[in-house]
Copies of this chain bind each other. A is one copy, B any other.
Amino acid sequence: MDFYSFFNSSTSYRVRIALALKGIEPIFHGVNIRLGEHRDAHYVATVNPSAVVPAVVDGNFHLGQSLAIIDWLDGTYPEPRLIPAEPVLRARVLEFSNLIACDIHPVNNLRVLKYLTDVLKATSDQKDAWYKHWIAEGLCAAERLLEQAAAREGGPWCFGGAPTLADVCLVPQVANALRMGCDLSAYSRVMAAYRHASGHPSFVKAEPKNQPDYVA
């Protein structure tokens, strides 16, 4: 399997965690989205028609979108399972993961922040306030979901005693927010889950600074 990733992309980071948890060692390809390599004609034609990272290619099969890739990995390499089979736990894990993947991450994506500054001429302070606004709104919801999970499923992971897609989505999002200087002290459940998960060897292996394409 070939894997296309950018060290600083949160969605690539999710897939890297899933690959590491499952012990899969794909052929790694760094795609520098700062240099626009994801828009290269050959990449779009043969790897990802959506012109984004991450993507996987396995023979004739190519696939983009981090959550679709992780669902596919779960079907192909089921151990450990990251999207639970039990219906209620599955629903809660998908709800939490989609909160991050649909409601928090996209609005603070690199391309959106670039549009704010390049086209709308937002100042650096306005861009920071935008970022922090969506983090606060999103993590406030995440905190409430994790409070209920702690009472029901327990810890130390987001939903009980094993890592799931929820942790896979949470860690890159929190790491990103910390890097952007957000004060996350109000989100104690979020931060407890983050601290637990981010210390796990598979999560450490997937960190931006541990990637072959890392640039300081």
- A141 touching B71 by the CB < 8 A rule? no
Copy tally for this chain in the complex stands at 2
Chain A interface secondary structure, helix, strand, loop or mixed? Answer: helix
Asked whether any CB of chain B lies closer than 8 Å to the CB of A75, the reply is yes
A81 within 8 A of partner (CB): no
Residue of B at shortest CB range from A94?
A: B68
In the complex, the answer to whether A67 meets B102 with C-beta atoms within 8 Å is yes
Q: How many residues of A contact B (CB 8 A)?
A: 48
Q: What residues of chain B lie closer than 8 Å to A79, measured between beta carbons?
A: none
Expressed in whole angstroms, the minimum distance between the Cβ of A95 and any Cβ of chain B is: 4
Q: Is A107 an interface residue (CB 8 A)?
A: yes
Contact A102 B99 (CB under 8 A): no
Tell whether, in the assembled complex, residue B133 and residue A115 are in contact, meaning their CB atoms are under 8 Å apart: yes
A20 to chain B, nearest CB (A): 20
Bound-state CA distance A88–B101 (Å) is: 22
A33 interfacial contact with B, CB 8 Å: no
A188 CB-CB contact with B under 8 Å? no
Whether the Cβ atoms of A145 and B49 lie closer than 8 Å is yes
Which chain B residues border A52 with CB–CB below 8 Å? 103, 141
- Least distance between A3 CB and chain B CB atoms (Å): 15
A65 located at the interface, meaning its Cβ lies under 8 Å from any Cβ of chain B in the complex:
yes
Which A positions have Cβ atoms within 8 angstroms of B? Answer: 44, 49-52, 61, 63-69, 71-72, 75-76, 87-88, 90-92, 94-95, 97-99, 101-103, 105-107, 109, 112, 115-116, 119-120, 122, 126, 129-130, 133, 141, 144-145, 148
